[in-house]
Amino acid sequence: KQEVTQIPAALSVPEGENLVLNCSFTDSAIYNLQWFRQDPGKGLTSLLLIQSSQREQTSGRLNASLDKSSGRSTLYIAASQPGDSATYLCAVRTLGTGTASKLTFGTGTRLQVTL
Amino acid sequence: NAGVTQTPKFRVLKTGQSMTLLCAQDMNHEYMYWYRQDPGMGLRLIHYSVGEGTTAKGEVPDGYNVSRLKKQNFLLGLESAAPSQTSVYFCASRPQGARNTEAFFGQGTRLTVV
């Protein structure tokens, strides 16, 4: 059974710092890994999707890496801003029952960027 | 750009009452999903659908039913609500085809059962 772990559960950094969020998963037979952002009381916004054959993806100040063999992904946020404060979730897609794939989520890292 | 829309956004039910949550997507996606999010547990899959007229059970299906009569809509029903079903419910959709496709989520429905 796939298990996804995100450490730390919460993180507070001053504005301007570069930071790394970690995600690990137990089953390396994944199709892709997706990073989401969730603001309090809101839905999930997709940030980056890394396919299993890729090593990294970049979008603006965000860079996500994937090491499938070791079951790890990192989300790097450069020059953090107060607007980056949110909960960041990672999810991996693996084969589910039958032919349908499934997303397994971590419990998230709650990030606070202070002035 | 509506994307995935969930109705209602908030609801309070009494134990034993029934209700239906509606999810609508305008992206012509084949796959649709219902998740629940509880503190400290991450999102867990309740039911999903791989196309119009199909449904399947996820990890935590007990106490819920679903229907996908139209491709764009996926309904989640609670026949007899219980306090354990207090949660935030999210609907998601994604295209068919390669499994390397992005999932899109709605804004959530916050349900409280008292």
Query: Which string of b and e fits B74-85 if b means at least 16 CB within 10 Å?
Result: bbbebeebeeeb
Which chain A residues touch B100 with a CB distance below 8 Å? Answer: 31-32, 49, 51-52, 93
Q: Would you say residue B11 has pLDDT above 70? A: yes
Q: Which of B43, B58, B102 sits opposite A105 (nearest CB)?
A: B43
pLDDT at B5 over 60: yes
Rounded percentage of chain B residues whose pLDDT exceeds 70:
96
**CA distances from residue B23 to B6, B48, B61, B104 in whole angstroms, order as listed:** 5, 12, 17, 12
CA–CA distance, A54 with A51 (Å, rounded to integer): 5
* Least reliable range by pLDDT among A34-48, A87-101, B8-22, B38-52: A87-101
Report chain A's mean pLDDT, rounded to a whole number. Answer: 93
A1 has a pLDDT exceeding 90: no
Tokens at A17, concatenated? 């710092």
User: How far, in Å, CA of B10 to CA of A15, rounded?
Assistant: 34
Angle at A20 between CA A15 and CA A24, to 5 degrees: 150
Q: What burial class does residue B114 get, using C-beta atoms within 10 Å of its C-beta: 0-12 exposed, 13-18 middle, 19+ buried?
A: exposed
Whether B42 sits inside 8 A of A106 (CB atoms) is yes
Chain A, chain B: beta-carbon pairs less than 8 Å apart: 58
Read off the pLDDT of each residue in B74-102 and give the average, rounded to a whole number: 90
- The string of pLDDT tens digits covering residues A73-112 is 999 999 999 999 999 999 999 876 655 678 899 999 999 9
